Structure 1
Amino acid sequence: MSEVAAVIDDLRDESAEVDLLVGELSAEQWAAPTPAPGWSIAHQIAHLTWTDEVALLAATDADAFAAETAKAMKAPDSFVDRGAEEIADALAPAALLTRWRDGRHRLERVLREAPAGTRIPWYGPPMGVASMATARIMETWAHGQDIADALGATRTPTARLRHVARIGVRARDYACLVHGIEAPGEEFRVELEAPDGGAVAFGPEDAAQRVTGPLVDFCLLVTRRAHRDDLAVRASGPDADRWLDIAQAFAGPPGPGRAPRTDPA
């Protein structure tokens, strides 16, 4: 199996796990609030639906995607939320679930059939097929976490979290940019404890500044699904420490993040 196919398999499996969370919910549960202010479970699935459909458009019709990008740039702080809200408001839960399933399955097929070397336009630089699938894994996992939190459900961490961590590490300098901070001039070493007891590592082994902790905690941090104070992620070095306060694995403004659950005192 190729590396690209393996990443697409992980995207399929991550989506299926979230599907298990919502597939049997009542209408009342679909309307339940999630930790994202103003977003119900329906809004979370509508957002995944919207982004899957936009990714599909980017992969199949570059001109149409460019036109959508131009519209988005007129309202850069609201177009993503508006896309989710329009879908959530227009569809009953059963129809929304069907549309999400259809869109993600069509995107999976297109990604699998893409010729080697394909570059897909996006809101930032164009992405390869594996990078697009990885980005979709990150978003699916993060919004799935919002849904799990709303339902009081506990998810078992999987090896797929390595994709989320990789994006979080690679987005270090972007996180600095959106916060108006000069990016460090050197790489960090990031060593994370995987769910199976192994390790996931990024950066040079001899780096002066380091980040360590559980893989799942790092993923919660870089997707801003939990406050740093509630996670066992640790930094060694002032720049690494500052990064953990601003880290994000997604494009766009950082948002307020989650409030700490623990009492600092």
Structure 2
Amino acid sequence: MTDIFDDLAAECRRFDELLAGLTPDQWAAPSAAPGWSVADVVLHLAQTSEVITDPAGAQAKAFVDTGTTVDGAVDELVAAERGLPPDALLARWRAAALAVPEHLRAQPPGTRLPWVRTPLSAATLATTRLAEHWAHALDVAGPLGLDYPDTARLRHVAWLAHRTLPYAFAVAGLAAAPVFCDLTGTDGTRWTYGDPDAPSRITGPAAEFCRVGARRLDPGRTSLAAEGPHGQDALRVLRTYAA
């Protein structure tokens, strides 16, 4: 997990490059996130970044006080502020999101920050934000027919998907079980997570594994292989964000 803050900053800059080239029609176009336009996706990322940089602010309070599911909360927040012009929206996202990496890097060791379902360390929260920006970049680029090539930064997303497997099992009403993930990284190297002696394992391309964890790709449409008593369940429940 070295350089997670640098990698988060790099992912945000790459997303910025994608957004900076969009036309007004593209901002208004549907994204791959159900019910959201491209502008809605960016507004969501701006709002959630503001929760991190201003934990006592209005966005943080609305996020905590909504009293609904995580998906319901973010939908309500987006609906409340929908309609900002693209220039203003891009400026707002930049002001919040591009400040997050250094804000998190500056946290004292051992600090845990409030986030959705449970407080997270600065490094884990940075990993979560990288995963979310990457997944939403796919939501923007895919429907618009724009390229958003995978990078080695997906190693953080793969780590997060494996690290949160106990949570994913619990959300699905299943008992947690050890699963070893032996993946082929975007650079062709081997990325491994967990105990190699675990009775269950998942093997295959890391890019597909990350997309399954982000709920952007059905496991049945991948070349991933699941073995052992809990491999198939792990692949089915895999997720990189809170329910």
Contact 1:46 1:85 in 2 (8 A): no
**Residues 1:245 and 2:236 are matched in the alignment:** yes
- State the partner residue of 1:9: 6
- State the partner residue of 2:88: 95
- State the partner residue of 1:260: none
TM-superposed CA distance for 1:161, in Å, is: 0.4
**1:67-124 per-position Cα deviation (integer Å, ceiling 9, x unaligned):** 445413356551111212333x241011100000011123233223222222212222
Identity in percent: 37
Instruction: Point out where structure 2 has 5 or more consecutive residues left out of the alignment.
Output: none
**1:4-29 per-position Cα deviation (integer Å, ceiling 9, x unaligned):** xx211111111111112221211111
Instruction: Point out where structure 1 has 5 or more consecutive residues left out of the alignment.
Output: 253-265
**Residues 1:193 and 2:184 are matched in the alignment:** yes
- State the partner residue of 1:21: 18
TM-superposed CA distance for 1:137, in Å, is: 0.3
Contact 1:55 1:107 in 2 (8 A): yes
* 2:126 partner amino acid: A
Match of 1:175 among 168, 172, 176: 168
Query: 1: CA distance between counterparts of 2:58 and 2:109?
Result: 22
Query: 2: CA distance between counterparts of 1:212 and 1:165?
Result: 12
- State the partner residue of 1:256: none
Q: Secondary structure at the match of 1:210?
A: strand
**Residues 1:80 and 2:80 are matched in the alignment:** no
Query: 1: CA distance between counterparts of 2:63 and 2:34?
Result: 25
Query: 2: CA distance between counterparts of 1:69 and 1:151?
Result: 30
Give TM-score scaled by structure 2 length.
0.92
Query: 2: CA distance between counterparts of 1:42 and 1:129?
Result: 27
**Residues 1:230 and 2:224 are matched in the alignment:** no
Query: 1: CA distance between counterparts of 2:60 and 2:34?
Result: 30
Instruction: Count residues with an aligned counterpart.
Output: 243
- State the partner residue of 2:120: 127
Tell me: CA distance 1:169–1:68, structure 2 relative to 1, closer, same or farther (3 Å).
Answer: same
> Structure 1 stretch 105-114 or stretch 217-226: which is displaced more?
105-114
Give TM-score scaled by structure 1 length.
0.85
- State the partner residue of 1:145: 138
- Tell me how large the CA RMSD over aligned residues is: 2.0
Query: 1: CA distance between counterparts of 2:89 and 2:195?
Result: 45
Tell me: CA distance 1:86–1:67, structure 2 relative to 1, closer, same or farther (3 Å).
Answer: closer
> Structure 1 stretch 19-28 or stretch 172-181: which is displaced more?
172-181
* 1:130 partner amino acid: A
Query: 1: CA distance between counterparts of 2:114 and 2:154?
Result: 25
